[in-house]
A and B are shown apart, each in its own frame.
Chain A
Amino acid sequence: MTGFVVRRFGQAVVVMIIVSMVIFGILHVLPGGLVRAQLGPRATAYAVRQLTVQEGLNKPIVVQYGIWAWHALQGRLGFSYKLNESVGALLSQYLPRDLLLVGTSLLLAIAIAVPLGLWQGYRRNRPDDHALSALMLVFYSMPTFLLGVILIVVLNIWVDVLPSTATNFGTGLGTDFRVLALPVFALCLGNVSYFSRYMRSSTVDNLLSDHVRTALAKGASPRRLLLRHVLRNSLTSTVTLIGLTLPYVLSGSLIIEALFNFPGMGLLFWNAAQDRDFPVLLGVVLVVTVATVVGNLLADLGYAALDPRIRYK
């Protein structure tokens, strides 16, 4: 297991180094470079020169990458001239709210999708399975923001039970947890459709396997069969899935935060994209990428811990 952990960890580091190079590269293919992006097209030659020296952009590219990477490791991700605040400080404000949004919706999605998928797998090809599959396929084929809009229309406009925006959530101007409900539901439903599809097919595979047939022959009740022999095995692969879906969940949060005006990293990113505020854009991309790499790493390690066969491959 130690060897596996070390090897897998090494891979993650290599991936991170390449990503950092790509992000650094993007920073430098900007039309006119970082300086023009910050000062605009009408800046004087003097101002351009000054900022170039100040940011160290006249140094060789390798040195620049070294400096940038060293700073990034320390959490210094540059300075947003548009928001007049360091990117690190911005992230430390926005990131915790994201953990709440993404974490809650992921947990909720698992809590719904696992029993749902298990049930569908058990009732395979019966009318209720088909109906649920069709519903999930519709959710799966829907842009995340349309899902959010449908929730707003139903739960805010038709039946006024939940607020439709999450502006100012957690910014000190009143923390009403009810505003979290719709963004969390919207983000969660898309994931439910994804997880439950997976859980269903995994359940079907397990139900057809030898150990389940043996258990059935020995007189196990359907309940015991599902909970004890199928669920445990199906969960193993679904756990991995959670780590692997992190990039999709984060992508979803970008849209949902824009829709509900939820002040998380996605909203920060979106505003930065519209203002072409590149230090913020790249800082956020770096953070979500680290989150993804760590998620993948944890998924693999979790899988290896749960399923010994993986370790010996």
Chain B
Amino acid sequence: MTTHDNPPPPSQELPAAGAATMATRPSAPSPQRSGERAATAPGAPRDSDVAAPASAWRLGLRTFTENHLATVGLVILVLLVLFSFVGPLLYHTNQVASSLISQNLPPSGSHLLGTSPEGRDELGRLMLGGQSTIEVGLGVGVLATLFGLVYGALSGFVGGVLDAVMMRVVDALLSIPYLFFVVLLAALARPNLLLVIVVLSAASWLSTARLVRGETLSLRTRDYVTASQGFGSRAHQVIARHITPNLLGVVVVNGTLKVADAILAFASIAYLGLGPPPPATNWGELLSAGINNLFDGYWWQLWPAGLLIVLTVLAVNVIGDGLSDVAEIRLQKR
């Protein structure tokens, strides 16, 4: 549990973006505020309660915003989501019919960012592509994290033969290079958006499972877990009430990075021609179309899509860094 209204820790040791060097941080003593404890009903098993009071959120938010890069990343991500999902409501284009007479037109008043090789409006196409790209990123982040969480927690908590078998399976699947695995699965199945999410998740839950299992191994020996088991809790109850809440920080950070990886991988399989077929689109596919016309100088088909992918992945990565700052502080105060 976090204690609530402590002052934020000194921020001079906040690492630069991208560096995960936490070795320099002194671990602060964790004062238990007995006065505050008394506010909750005595005797009731409130220790497992994750519904942290608002001030814990505020502390987290403050830590997050202290990382300026992460804040900028969050703003950029929000803008990109607005661009993709609200944009089409303001900027109407026909994204279904292709048009022979308006192929590869340069930017003009009627087509702000020119047209695609099929004669569709490129800006509208980028908005549409953004929707599926962001959906895949978030979908994989959530799905892979949930599955990896359950798998890893189960493996680590039960231990013994089951753990050994479950982890060898993870080792084995992890040694298949990610993109080869994904392309193999994508070649097996006819691609649609949901399937792409499933395929990418199938390849990305593995590292989460390994991470969660490692954390669970150390959590399961804690006194409160033993106590809970002594009161007769079953394995699934302990995992849900005592293990998972403590894993939250690590898992959320890891899940954020999964979103970034998934967007990159989606772009790659779309580039390889294994994404959902047109008229559906995504940034990877648009970029790929731009690459096909690379030597014709149709810059509007290439750079905007590339820029959007890089911006999104960059934003998600720095948000992940910001969240890991928050998670560190929660760990420190435990």
Residues in A with CB closer than 8 Å to B318 are: 137
Residues in A with CB closer than 8 Å to B184 are: 26, 273, 281-282, 285
Residues in B with CB closer than 8 Å to A255 are: 179, 268, 271-272
Q: Pick from B181, B264, B287: contact of A285, CB below 8 A.
A: B181
- The answer to whether A292 has its CB under 8 Å from any CB of chain B is yes
Interface class of chain B by DSSP: helix
Is A149 in contact with B18, judged by CB distance below 8 angstroms? no
Q: Pick from A141, A200, A282: contact of B314, CB below 8 A.
A: A141
- The answer to whether A30 has its CB under 8 Å from any CB of chain B is yes
Residues in A with CB closer than 8 Å to B10 are: none
In the complex, the chain A residue whose C-beta lies closest to that of B178 is A251
Residues in A with CB closer than 8 Å to B198 are: none
Known contacts A134-B17, A273-B272, A274-B273, A296 near B175 by CB under 8 Å: yes
Known contacts A134-B17, A255-B268, A247 near B175 by CB under 8 Å: yes
- The answer to whether B183 has its CB under 8 Å from any CB of chain A is yes
Residues in A with CB closer than 8 Å to B267 are: 143, 145
Q: Pick from A124, A141, A284, A289: contact of B317, CB below 8 A.
A: A141
- The answer to whether B90 has its CB under 8 Å from any CB of chain A is no
Is A153 in contact with B309, judged by CB distance below 8 angstroms? no
Residues in A with CB closer than 8 Å to B168 are: 14-15, 18
A293–B176 CA distance with the chains assembled, in angstroms: 9
A26–B239 CA distance with the chains assembled, in angstroms: 32
Is B183 in contact with A146, judged by CB distance below 8 angstroms? no
A134-165 CB mask vs B (1 if < 8 Å, else 0) is: 10111011111110010011000100000000
- The answer to whether B19 has its CB under 8 Å from any CB of chain A is yes
A90 to chain B minimum Cβ distance, whole angstroms, is: 16
In the complex, the chain B residue whose C-beta lies closest to that of A200 is B19
A141–B314 CA distance with the chains assembled, in angstroms: 5
In the complex, the chain A residue whose C-beta lies closest to that of B313 is A141
Residues in A with CB closer than 8 Å to B194 are: none
Residues in B with CB closer than 8 Å to A197 are: 18-19
Known contacts A145-B268, A269-B183, A19 near B302 by CB under 8 Å: no
Is A153 in contact with B18, judged by CB distance below 8 angstroms? no
- Chain B interface, number of residues (Cβ within 8 angstroms): 48
A270–B182 CA distance with the chains assembled, in angstroms: 12
| B255-273 interface (Cβ within 8 A of A) | 260, 264, 267-268, 271-273
A199-210 CB mask vs B (1 if < 8 Å, else 0) is: 011001100100
| B275-334 interface (Cβ within 8 A of A) | 284, 287-288, 291, 294-295, 302, 306, 309-310, 313-314, 317-318
Is B183 in contact with A144, judged by CB distance below 8 angstroms? no
Residues in B with CB closer than 8 Å to A235 are: none
In the complex, the chain A residue whose C-beta lies closest to that of B164 is A14
Residues in B with CB closer than 8 Å to A285 are: 176, 180-181, 184
- The answer to whether B172 has its CB under 8 Å from any CB of chain A is yes
Most buried by B among A26, A137, A296: A137
Is A140 in contact with B272, judged by CB distance below 8 angstroms? no
- B contacts, CB < 8 Å to A: 16-21, 23-24, 168-169, 171-181, 183-184, 186-188, 260, 264, 267-268, 271-274, 284, 287-288, 291, 294-295, 302, 306, 309-310, 313-314, 317-318
Given contacts A18-B171, A255-B271, 11 further A-B contacts (CB under 8 A): A15-B171, A22-B176, A133-B18, A143-B267, A157-B294, A197-B19, A247-B177, A255-B272, A273-B183, A274-B273, A285-B184
